[in-house]
Amino acid sequence: MPDEAANSRNSFSSATAGWPLWAKITTFFGFPTAVAGFLLYFVVSTISQTIREQGVVMGAHNQMTVEIRDRLTEQKITLANMLYTLQVMCQHGAKSDQEHRECVIK
């Protein structure tokens, strides 16, 4: 029996000598298995490419988010300074204690 296995391996190798790798795989495993392997390879390569592209897009979105957050923080500080300035101006223009308290509340 070992001689038969060796002979069948040798006859397969000699019969497929000079064939491209895809043809040898198709002959050895069968057409349905070769097609399934090709489709699996295609799907996996497409998914990995899509994941890489999504990583680039997510990086860009993260950078934009940081920039927007920084701008909003700057605007918040600017608005707080403006409010303080208006309150001080209101307090300086107040003629009574009631008007002075209203400047602080607003």
Q: What is the pLDDT of residue 23?
A: 82
pLDDT tens digit at each of 106 positions of the chain: 555 555 555 566 677 788 888 788 787 788 788 788 889 989 998 998 899 999 999 999 999 999 999 999 999 999 999 999 988 888 888 888 888 788 876 5
Domain count, the chain: 1
Q: What is the pLDDT of residue 73?
A: 97
In sequence order, what are the residues at sequence separation of 6 or more whose Cβ sits closer than 8 angstroms to the Cβ of residue 23? 16
Task: Note the Cα 93 to chain centre separation in Å.
Answer: 56
Query: Which pTM was predicted?
Result: 0.48
Cα–Cα distance measured from residue 98 to residue 71, given in angstroms and rounded to the nearest whole number: 37
Q: Which domain holds residue 31?
A: 2-105
Dmax (CA) of the chain = 115
In sequence order, what are the residues at sequence separation of 6 or more whose Cβ sits closer than 8 angstroms to the Cβ of residue 26? 34
